[in-house]
Amino acid sequence: MTNMPRVCDYEGSDYRTRFWENQGREYEDQVERIALRRLMPATGGTLLDIGAGFGRYADEFLGYQKVVLLDFSASLLREARERWGNDPRFIYVAANWYQMPFVDGLFNTMVQLRTIHHAENVPGLFHELGRIAAPRGTYVLEFANKLNLKAIARYGLRQQPWSPFTREPVEFVEMNFNFNPGYIRDHLKVAQFKPGRTLTASHFRMGVLKSNVPTGLLVKLDSLAQLTGNWWQLTPSVFVHNQHPATNTAAPDHLFFACPTCRTPINEVDNQLTCSGCGAVWGNEDGVYNFKQPITP
């Protein structure tokens, strides 16, 4: 792929401790898990977690035979491996999501939560996901909603320059994008995904509420409010269930990885994967497959 889009790199970051652990986000974590369970098949063969980071949702995937935690940050994946490394179901892959290192038609289920806001090229990402989706594969997507009530109010009060009503994404800070629901659905359809059931989440993501209302109550209220998502999407977080048609050919059982540069299927020998197509060699470092840079060009 030429003119590669920018990639947000969390390599070496303290994301887990700075953003999640003991940071008052129990409400967000719980409501997101409720939405995920409602949309994701509980069991299956292969699952891909896109932007898995330190594996915050990994315990939701234990009904799958093979689970790939994919992230651009190898350091965050090592944190995930510290917890799940002895579980043979989990595979840790550091790669660019615009060049997925997998064969076509591989994944029965794909999930992407709290990461597409770092995607500069959404159509390119959806195209790659459509390529690796198994026939009738499921893709559960959560995206940061540009058309939320807070943004509408701020725009009306002239406290922000960008309109929440326009179709195009807005980069409100560097490499952080919000998306109009219509924009997301349009490009899902171009990539041959069929958008279906939609849930809204984080209805009560306000500091004053989280500080004064019991978390359990907020979660229960949010769980009920999520069910209105098919009719309106004005929350900061939106979940949508998508299905790819049966037009893809399922990946053969003996194939899994493919060269991200030329897409030739490759197999592992002595912790290395050598591409017979372009000669690139990819490594496995401490249990994390590293497809960010080849060992040899």
* Tens digits of residue pLDDT in 151-209: 999 999 999 999 999 999 999 999 999 999 999 999 999 999 999 999 999 999 999 99
* Closest C-alpha to 116, from 62, 44, 175: 175
**What pLDDT, on a 0 to 100 scale, did the predictor assign at position 243?**
97
**What pLDDT, on a 0 to 100 scale, did the predictor assign at position 2?**
53
* Closest C-alpha to 128, from 171, 107, 99, 170: 99
The yes-or-no verdict on residue 120 having pLDDT over 90 is yes
The CA distance from 265 to 243, in Å, is 25
Q: With bands split at pLDDT 50, 70 and 90, how would you rate the model's confidence at 213?
A: very high
**What pLDDT, on a 0 to 100 scale, did the predictor assign at position 297?**
60
Evaluate the CA torsion angle 63, 65, 71, 73 in order and state its sign.
Answer: positive
Give the start-to-end residue ranges of the domains of the chain.
15-256
Phi and psi at residue 241, to the nearest 5°:
-90, 130
Architecture label for domain 15-256: 3-Layer(aba) Sandwich (3.40)
